[in-house]
Every structure is written in structure tokens, then in C-alpha cells.
Amino acid sequence: SQQGEEDPQALSIQEGENATMNCSYKTSINNLQWYRQNSGRGLVHLILIRSNEREKHSGRLRVTLDTSKKSSSLLITASRAADTASYFCATVPANQAGTALIFGKGTTLSVSS
Amino acid sequence: ETGVTQTPRHLVMGMTNKKSLKCEQHLGHNAMYWYKQSAKKPLELMFVYNFKEQTENNSVPSRFSPECPNSSHLFLHLHTLQPEDSALYLCASSQDLSGAPNQPQHFGDGTRLSIL
């Protein structure tokens, strides 16, 4: 069953603007990961945040995690045309047998120059 | 590149054909995965292998048959597929399953499969 759900489904911004994507999930998690997928390509891992962390940075990316609200956000600052892609959150449910990463449907980000 | 190579990139086949998808990783990983990505649906995990042993089969129809001859190679054998099986099939790898929840997965670029 779907665990993570991204919001919005689609986002269009201008270069230089910030882009914020949100992810909500249903059950307790071990960690939450964000991935990017360019058109016609595979997924690329961006960042992993553990359940005991609240914020994490990687370059222009900032991820927050609020376990009380079961939500996470991905902020891309000073966006570039090359950031145009689909972004997925994936959760690893706590206390779940198996190793499945459960993905949401993704947010499609379009950055125009 | 990601270190995970999938071939072919595109495949068109009839419902009665038999074909195979190939995945090879050059990362020294021991866990490998098959995912199905359909339009407007979340990515679906199909199979997981750890040190060549299958550890998960996510209720996948028997017309999909995985094979993992060694930790670097993963195949997905296809036969008697249905039109709804048309999708992007992605292979991924991670270090191994011992620390699986906290390991990122590395994906190939997928095989775009079309069933006529």
C-alpha cells in the first residue's frame, strides 16, 4: 500500500526561485529518503533523514522531518533549469518485515529560465 | 553514471514472446532489486535479492521470473505478458540487506517495455 504521498503533484517555478515539496506518510518510519528522476532516467538518491533527525542539508537541498505530523519537506533553493525532474519521497516503515522502500507518486518540478 | 546498467533500454514484444531484461552493477553491492514504474502509479517493488538469494517476492505474477546468478547480475525473464505489463522496469542495488533501512539504493535507467 502507498505510504508516502507528495504534494503538490506538479510545481512550476522560475529559475532562482525556491521550490518546496511535501511528503506525508501513514505509519511510523525508520527513515525517509528523497530521490530525483529526470525524464527517461532512473532514480537518483538525494538525501536520507533518519527518524531521530529533524533537519538535514546537502548543497542547495534542505530536508525537514516532523514525525509527530508524519511529514517531510524538501526545499530546493535558488533553483536551476537542471532541477527540472520528478521528486519522490520513499519511506522505510519501522517494524516492517522485509526491506521495501515505499515510494509516493512524486512531484513533477518544472523550472523555466 | 550510477554504476547500474540495464539492457535493453527499450523493448517491444508481443504477448506470446519470451524475452529477458538484464541488470549489471559495478558498485560491489550485494543486494539487488526489481521495480515496476507505471504511469501515474507509485514505484512498485517486485523482487529483492541478497547475496544471490531471493528474499522478497511482492506477489508478482509468475509470468515474471527473476534470476540472480551472482551479486553483480540480475535478470528478469518475461513470458506471456499482458498489455498492462507495459511499464518502465527499474533495477536497483544497495550494499546489502544487513543495514538496508539506512542505505540508499542506486538505480539503473530502466528498460521501457511495451507489450503489443
Q: Is B29 on the interface with A (CB under 8 A)?
A: no
Our CA-based measurement puts residue B18 at a distance from the nearest CA of chain A, in whole angstroms, of: 24
Q: What pLDDT shows up at residue B4?
A: 97
The closest CB to that of B40, out of A4, A104, A105, belongs to A105
Q: What pLDDT shows up at residue B91?
A: 97
A chain contacts of residue B58, beta-carbon cutoff 8 Å = 100
Determine the Cα–Cα distance for residues B85 and B37; give it in Å rounded to an integer: 10
Smallest CA-to-CA distance from A3 within A77, A91, A87, A72 is with A91
User: DSSP readout, B84-110?
Assistant: GG-EEEEEEEES-STTGGGS--EE---
Our CA-based measurement puts residue A102 at a distance from the nearest CA of chain B, in whole angstroms, of: 8
B chain contacts of residue A100, beta-carbon cutoff 8 Å = 45, 48, 56, 58
The closest CB to that of A45, out of B45, B104, B108, belongs to B104
B chain contacts of residue A33, beta-carbon cutoff 8 Å = 104
A1 — pLDDT class (breaks 50, 70, 90): very low
The closest CB to that of B42, out of A40, A98, A103, belongs to A103
B chain contacts of residue A31, beta-carbon cutoff 8 Å = 101-102
| Single-letter amino acid, residue A112 | S
Q: Is the pLDDT of residue A7 over 60?
A: yes
Q: What pLDDT shows up at residue B24?
A: 98
How do residues A15-33 score in pLDDT, each as one tens digit?
Answer: 999 999 999 999 888 889 9
Instruction: Pick the residue of B103, B106, B112 with the most A CBs within 10 A to test the interface with A by mutation.
Output: B103
Determine the Cα–Cα distance for residues A21 and B41; give it in Å rounded to an integer: 18
Asked if B104 and A42 come within 8 Å (Cβ–Cβ), the reply is no
Q: What pLDDT shows up at residue A96?
A: 67
Determine the Cα–Cα distance for residues B9 and B111; give it in Å rounded to an integer: 4
Determine the Cα–Cα distance for residues A10 and B96; give it in Å rounded to an integer: 34
Q: What pLDDT shows up at residue B2?
A: 75
Q: What are A77's three cell numbers?
A: 533553493
Per-residue pLDDT of chain B (116 residues), as tens digits, is 679 999 999 999 998 889 999 999 999 999 999 999 998 788 999 999 999 999 888 889 999 999 999 999 999 999 999 999 999 999 999 998 876 677 889 999 999 999 99
| Residue A54 buriedness (CB in 10 A; 0-12 / 13-18 / 19+) | exposed
Give the H or E element holding residue B46: strand B44-50
Asked if A101 and B105 come within 8 Å (Cβ–Cβ), the reply is yes
The overall average pLDDT reported for chain A is 91
